Structure 1
């Protein structure tokens, strides 16, 4: 069994696993095993259960990395026994019993909130569910201001919606209470107020790095810096 943790990269809302491509390349170039699974984005309980199940089937220790809403997911999934560390990238860091809406509501709202577009999706045996994406016209400034315009258009077209109910679900556990954590704060984030990121990271006792001028899509625009923080976590937990 390998003693080098496998890094599991959990994307957030309005993105997919491809958003980690640059980070994956950096980690692989340093011989670090890495997996970037799809995050279903259907709700905190079900998404966390999916990631926890995946992590538990990996042979050896795991470092969970969450971007944005993915931070809430790893906060819950991280209680899995073989998870040895948590890395938050421009992410929500929830307390046990807290929801995204509650944490976000303590601070001035970001431009994201007024630029969400609602859709519906079928739910077997129930009323249609509601999901949200970012208005494509607002996507560049809200999500990826430091990403080249041509790439931003692709990201906006390929964004994956988040079930609106995820904002109200409360975290049944907070793995950072028993696992070491690291956090990257995107200083120019317009999707999550950077104060939300700082507050959650400090509360968790995380080792914090802040990138001034970085957008919410920091894993796309600055993959080397994101990978460096993940490597710190891997080294510390090996």
Structure 2
């Protein structure tokens, strides 16, 4: 790999580049160029194709690229590989699509709801009721960082991209790594280990942290990314 690629950071549902702000600062402190992408998540006319356009536009003329995709960003990253000089994909607590599968179908196809409920039961947390982001997403994020995120308001996420099938026939021929927080309550570790093995044919790497590790542990995420480059 080239000595100094650009990290291009794709967020998950809600599409906010702010998710990556601590990691961008950490990478910049190491002399790395990092571009966090805002996706048109609140636009009902925008699906995965438009999300891909947003990432490609953010890349511009930069080359080479390391794509880092969090959560739902796993559906967009491989589409970007078709249109940009991507030398590596790093999936971070991500969804891994199957050909023809929509993001809306992914949940039941993979068994995520059952895996999440089983982890909650093991940890003595309620298994029913409404989704609580403080419990499932922000349980290990520092309070001041959580406050900064919530001060921005709840991000909008259109249902449009969840309705349309993932268009690729297979995962692109690009080196791919998968980094999973072992304390992720939304996509539990053993669930992800199985999905990644079945769909990508690789073993995941694990690190401490929950679903939002770029907010909770940006230094450790940066260490792992730099390790992948070497």
Query: Any idea what SS the aligned residue of 1:162 has?
Result: coil
Aligned match of 2:63: 60
Q: Residues 161 and 173 of structure 1: is their aligned pair in 2 closer, same or farther, counting only changes over 3 Å?
A: same
How far off is 1:206 after superposition?
Answer: 4.5
How far off is 1:152 after superposition?
Answer: 2.2
Counterpart check, 1:141 vs 2:135: yes
How far off is 1:220 after superposition?
Answer: 0.6
How far off is 1:160 after superposition?
Answer: 1.4
Contact 1:43 1:165 in 2 (8 A): yes
Summarize the alignment of residues 36-75 of structure 1 with structure 2, pairs less than 5 Å apart. 36-41=36-41, 42-55=46-59, 57-75=60-78
Q: Residues 175 and 218 of structure 1: is their aligned pair in 2 closer, same or farther, counting only changes over 3 Å?
A: farther
Contact 1:47 1:73 in 2 (8 A): yes
Aligned match of 1:88: 91
Aligned match of 1:4: 4
Distance 1:27 1:181 in 2: 20
Q: Which has the higher strand share?
A: 1
Distance 1:113 1:52 in 2: 39
- Return 5+ residue gaps in structure 1 as ranges: 117-137
Aligned match of 2:122: none
Aligned match of 2:120: none
> Could you report, residue by residue, the CA deviation over 1:194-237 in whole angstroms, capped at 9, with x for unpaired residues?
4553344333245622124x2111111111221122223333xx
**Aligned residue-pair number:** 211
- Return 5+ residue gaps in structure 2 as ranges: 118-126
Distance 1:108 1:6 in 2: 32
Distance 1:169 1:113 in 2: 28
Distance 2:150 2:12 in 1: 14
> Could you report, residue by residue, the CA deviation over 1:104-131 in whole angstroms, capped at 9, with x for unpaired residues?
2121414799636xxxxxxxxxxxxxxx
Q: Residues 100 and 21 of structure 1: is their aligned pair in 2 closer, same or farther, counting only changes over 3 Å?
A: same
Aligned match of 1:231: 226
Distance 2:98 2:61 in 1: 26
TM-score (norm. length: structure 1): 0.77
Summarize the alignment of residues 1-238 of structure 1 with structure 2, pairs less than 5 Å apart. 4-14=4-14, 16-41=16-41, 42-55=46-59, 57-105=60-108, 106-109=110-113, 110=116, 115=130, 138-158=132-152, 159-173=154-168, 176-202=171-197, 203-206=199-202, 208-212=204-208, 214-235=209-230
Distance 2:3 2:40 in 1: 29
TM-score (norm. length: structure 2): 0.79
Query: Any idea what SS the aligned residue of 1:151 has?
Result: helix
How far off is 1:36 after superposition?
Answer: 0.9
Distance 1:38 1:15 in 2: 6
Query: Any idea what SS the aligned residue of 1:177 has?
Result: coil
How far off is 1:172 after superposition?
Answer: 1.2
